[in-house]
Chain A
Amino acid sequence: DIISTVEFNHTGELLATGDKGGRVVIFQREPESKNAPHSQGEYDVYSTFQSHEPEFDYLKSLEIEEKINKIKWLPQQNAAHSLLSTNDKTIKLWKITERDKRPEGYNLKDEEGKLKDLSTVTSLQPMDLMVEVSPRRIFANGHTYHINSISVNSDCETYMSADDLRINLWHLAITDRSFNIVDIKPANMEDLTEVITASEFHPHHCNLFVYSSSKGSLRLCDMRAAALCDKHSKLFEEPEDPSNRSFFSEIISSVSDVKFSHSGRYMLTRDYLTVKVWDLNMEARPIETYQVHDYLRSKLCSLYESDCIFDKFECAWNGSDSVIMTGAYNNFFRMFDRNTKRDVTLEASRESSKPRAVLKPRRVCVGGKRRRDDISVDSLDFTKKILHTAWHPAENIIAIAATNNLYIFQDKVNSDMH
Chain B
Amino acid sequence: MEFKLEAHRIVSISLGKIYNSRVQRGGIKLHKNLLVSLVLRSARQVYLSDPCPGLYLAGPTGTPAVPPPQQPGEPVAGPPSGWGEPPPPAGRAAWPEPEPPPQRPMVCHTPGAGSSEPVTSVAGAGDALRGGETDSAAAACCPPAREEQPVGDGSPAPPAPCPRKRGAAGVGGGRAGCPAPGSTPLKKPRRNSEEQPSTTDEDTDEEMETGNVANLISIFGSSFSGLLRKSPAGGREEEEAEESGPEAAEPGQICCDKPVLRDMSPWSTAIVAF
Contacts and interface: CB of A to CB of B under 8 A. Distances in A.
Nearest to A251: B35
A61 B42 contact: no
Interface stretch (B104-112, B122-130, B213-221, B253-261): B253-261
Nearest to B258: A189
Given A63-B25, A164-B31, A304-B10, A190 B259 contact: yes
Contacts of B92: 190
A195 interface: yes
Given A60-B249, A65-B25, A144-B256, A214 B10 contact: no
B27 A144 contact: no
A190 B225 contact: yes
B93 A250 contact: no
Contacts of B6: 247, 301
A248 B39 contact: yes
A248 B254 CA distance: 25
A192 interface: yes
A182 to B, nearest CB: 15
B151 interface: no
A63 B34 contact: no
Contacts of A19: none
B249 A146 contact: no
A190 B223 contact: yes
B31 A195 contact: yes
A305 to B, nearest CB: 5
Contacts of B38: 250-251
A378 B7 CA distance: 23
B224 A247 contact: no
A64 interface: yes
| Contact-size category for B | 35 or more
A310 interface: yes
A307 B20 CA distance: 12
Interface in A237-277: 247-251, 254
Contacts of B251: 60-61
A304 B35 CA distance: 11
Interface string B238-260: 00000000110111111111110
B191 interface: no
A136 B222 CA distance: 47
Interface in B18-74: 25-27, 29-32, 34-35, 38-39, 42-43, 46, 65
Contacts of B9: 301
A192 B34 contact: yes
A339 interface: no
Contacts of B65: 190-191
Contacts of B249: 59-60
B62 to A, nearest CB: 13
A248 B7 CA distance: 11
Contact of A304 (B13, B25, B256): B13
A195 B31 CA distance: 6
Contact of A61 (B32, B223, B253): B253
Leading 3 A-B pairs by shortest Cβ distance: A65-B26, A190-B225, A189-B259
Interface of A: 57, 59-65, 67, 88, 144-146, 148, 164-165, 188-195, 197, 214, 247-251, 254, 301, 304-305, 307, 310
